[in-house]
Amino acid sequence: MLRTIVIEDEDLIRKMIVNMVKNMDAVNFIGEASSVYEGVILADATQPDLILLDIQLRDGNGFTLYEKLKTKPKVIFITAYDDYGIRAIRLGALDYILKPIDEEELEMAIQKVFQQSQYAEQFTATALAMNGQANKLFLRTQEGLHILKMNDILYCHGEGSYTQFFIKNGSKIMVSKPLKEYESMLPEQQFARCHQSYIVNLNEVTRIDKSDLVIMSNEAAIPISTRKKKWFIDSFFSS
């Protein structure tokens, strides 16, 4: 999800934009501001992935605000004037939206940003793997990019569109991707899916009890589904 802030000086329009993005799956709304001054403070404090930025603000313009930022997140400019578009694109904006704002158009622009960020993340992970770091998994959360050694992962638990990683040191990492996204990323000689909702590190399994539970090295009890039982047990002999 894109950590997103909205900077717009007209209260009604700002609240309308906020209500729109709060309903979008690709967006994690984290704040709003109404001026260049407030916007710079908010952006530098929250380090968003995306800013929905009005060009004409009460104390300056969005271009000035963007130039003041310590780091440069992705930007979709919002304007009532079509002639600002070329300057916005030259400044590095991924898109610009004309007022009055069409919700479908805004969502399409945000989805484009989201897809590009997903591609960049996959590209980074692939490049690192090719540089001899294939024994690591890269997880992006709201806090940043987590770099995990495969051997430090105990198991993964999927719940709908989220996956939680349980780590040897007792910590947990929640990511907004379904479990199936990671099944192909985790090496099959070390990890196996014992249940629709679980993938376990075979090296951390201490026993399989008669109740069809996988007991992990941290004493966590993970269920084995009936249809995966034979395949899962066979995984130990092929790993």
Rounded Cα gap, residues 189 and 40, in angstroms: 49
Strand 198-201 relative to strand 191-195: parallel, antiparallel, unpaired?
A: antiparallel
154 close to 205: Cβ distance less than 8 angstroms:
no
User: For the chain, where do the domains classified as CATH 2.40.50.1020 start and end?
Assistant: 135-238
Rounded Cα gap, residues 216 and 207, in angstroms: 7
Fold classification of 135-238 (topology level):
OB fold (Dihydrolipoamide Acetyltransferase, E2P) (2.40.50)
**208 - beta bridge partners?**
214
Half-sphere exposure of 176 (CA within 13 A, CB side): 15
User: For the chain, where do the domains classified as CATH 3.40.50.2300 start and end?
Assistant: 2-117
Rounded Cα gap, residues 144 and 48, in angstroms: 11
Query: Is this model's pTM higher than 0.85 or not?
Result: no
Digit-by-digit pLDDT tens for the chain (239 residues) are 889 999 999 999 999 999 999 989 889 999 999 999 999 999 999 999 999 999 899 999 988 898 899 888 889 988 887 666 555 555 555 677 888 999 999 998 898 888 777 655 555 555 555 454 457 888 878 777 788 899 999 999 999 888 999 999 999 999 888 898 888 788 888 899 999 999 999 999 999 888 889 999 999 999 998 888 888 877 766 65
The architecture in CATH of the region 2-117 reads 3-Layer(aba) Sandwich (3.40)
User: What are 104's two structure tokens?
Assistant: 């479908």
Predicted pLDDT at 128: 52
**191 - beta bridge partners?**
201
